[in-house]
Structure 1
């Protein structure tokens, strides 16, 4: 299975840090945030990774190269102008192929076990959900008995980690568009599964949360 890391966001809430550096390259615990993802993907057995980029994207390619350092093969989907999550994945489909693939938001940190994620043959998506954080108290999707529902179950926050079948994007057209409406349409068809992750998860969307992650990883290293 191939994996995609979403790295095209401008990082407006991270400014001025992102004025001269793309958000995925911001350092955390001594290395770029996106490198943490690549290392975890490689450890989980993913050998082919697609990374999209827009703002200062050439810096991402220059820093990561083709992935030899981590034993993976990296392809890039350059967007020029960010296409939002749905549009970015759709543009990258020729690189991702015809089989289901994993997508991870480049601006999160999570200890979910990537080897245990599974997409059933008839499903179009499988999402990892987390308890609602303070910055998203209302959540994003309902989870009931390991299925996402239209309105019953527990309302939880999408972690930014999901498995997708390319058929989810059938009928889409090139351009910028969000992912959530496609997921909600698939939920209405009963074709989205999900799981709750109660381990570590941080949406690294602001300088304050970046510092929180830095402190957390520092405490981990000091406890070893």
Structure 2
């Protein structure tokens, strides 16, 4: 299975940090956010990774190179302007191939076991999401889980972690090179009973503001002692 890291966002809420540095290259625990992902993907046995980029994307390519330092092949899917999540994935499909693939948001920090997700997407399903507890900045959540199925509503609403496994068919309606959001495609998959999910309760952080970046840095310092 191939993996994709989404790294094309502008990071407006992270300014001024992102005025000169793309958000996935911001450091926590002494390493860029995206490097934590690459290390965990390599540990999980992933050999091929696609990274999309737009804002200051050349910095990402210069920093990460061809992926050989992690014993993997890294390819890039540049976007002139950010194409949103589904648009960015659809644009990268020629690099991702015809089989299901893992996608990870580049601006998160997590200890999710990516290796387990290699077998997450069953036959005839288009999407499998990892959901987490709702963070303070997103108290109402996004989806629910019912008997391993992804649902729009439920007794316990959870937040989408930004980690999911998708079949290329999920993006069949997206015109390559045009912006498109992921949520409508997931809602359609739910309506067609083609979306599953799992609940992860371990380490996960959405690095959306400089304050959250600093908090995570302090947490990692404490853990390193």
TM-score, normalising length: structure 1:
0.97
Could you tell me whether the CA contact under 8 Å between 1:5 and 1:103 is conserved in 2? yes
| Structure 1 position 188 matched with structure 2 position 179 | no
Matched residue, 1:74: 74
* Deviations 1:167-192, CA, capped at 9 Å, x for gaps: 10112212001001000100011110
Could you tell me whether the CA contact under 8 Å between 1:143 and 1:153 is conserved in 2? no
Query: How far, CA to CA, are the matches of 1:149 and 1:82 in structure 2?
Result: 28
Deviates more, 1:197-206 or 1:170-179: 170-179
| Structure 1 position 7 matched with structure 2 position 7 | yes
* Deviations 1:199-219, CA, capped at 9 Å, x for gaps: 111000100110111111111
Correspondence for 1:213 among 213, 216, 223: 216
Pairing of 1:1-224 with structure 2 (within 5 A): 1-117=1-117, 118-174=120-176, 175-222=178-225
What is the aligned residue count?
222
Could you tell me whether the CA contact under 8 Å between 1:150 and 1:188 is conserved in 2? no
Query: How far, CA to CA, are the matches of 2:152 and 2:14 in structure 1?
Result: 33
Could you tell me whether the CA contact under 8 Å between 1:103 and 1:163 is conserved in 2? yes
Could you tell me whether the CA contact under 8 Å between 1:22 and 1:60 is conserved in 2? yes
Could you tell me whether the CA contact under 8 Å between 2:86 and 2:174 is conserved in 1? no
- CA deviation after TM superposition for structure 1 residue 30, in Å: 1.1
* Deviations 1:46-75, CA, capped at 9 Å, x for gaps: 010000000000000011000011111000
Q: Which ranges of structure 2 fall in alignment gaps of 5 or more residues?
A: none
TM-score, normalising length: structure 2:
0.97
Query: How far, CA to CA, are the matches of 1:126 and 1:21 in structure 2?
Result: 31
